[in-house]
Amino acid sequence: MAIRNLRYEGDDILKKKSREVEVIDDKLQTLIDDMIETMHKYNGVGLAAVQVGILKRVIVIDLYDDKGPIVLINPIIIKTKGEQEVEEGCLSFPNQFAKVIRPAEVVAEYTDRNGKRMRVHAKELLAQAIAHEVDHLNGELFIDKIIPGTLEYIEPEE
């Protein structure tokens, strides 16, 4: 496992649409493990492959509960319900936080890392994380969706 280099604001790859994963092989499993390790190193809740420079439809999410990280390959949001105004940040935009409107609930279909097609009904933080990361796969950034006037820059602690 290895920490991958994150891509940051201004990197053109973040605006590109990621490609479907066609085969789940050892190389993809290594990418997934590296993404989880990278997300944990930077205390992220989610990470999309594009954020480490790989244009594949893979996301990892960890709510730091007892369930551990989840891996979503080729995720598709098939249903949303309600709205929530949430404070959001992004590992590709360090120390920047803003309010955005996200669905209160999402239903997503995806393939897990074992190749099994799955469905998740997510609420609150998990719904927010799935919506945020699926946006990344489509080349959309949270910074483009913020509620005007809510962007804050938090000075990093030394």
Contact 89, 46 (CB under 8 A): no
Cα–Cα distance for residue pair 14/132, rounded to 1 Å = 13
Residue 32's domain spans which residues? Answer: 12-153
In-domain check, residue 131: yes
Cα–Cα distance for residue pair 29/114, rounded to 1 Å = 9
70-97 per-position pLDDT tens digit: 999 999 999 999 999 999 999 999 999 9
In-domain check, residue 22: yes
In-domain check, residue 70: yes
Query: Which amino acid would we find at residue 7?
Result: R
pTM value is 0.95
Please state the rounded mean pLDDT for residues 33-56.
97
Domain count of the fold of the chain: 1
Please report the pLDDT score of residue 156 as a whole number: 78
107-157 per-position pLDDT tens digit: 999 999 999 999 999 999 999 999 999 999 999 999 999 999 999 999 877
Q: Is 133 a catalytic residue?
A: yes
Residue in 22, 83, 133, 152 annotated catalytic: 133
- Give strand ranges (E) for 7-146: 46-48, 58-61, 70-81, 84-90, 93-102, 105-111, 117-123
Q: 145: domain CATH number? A: 3.90.45.10
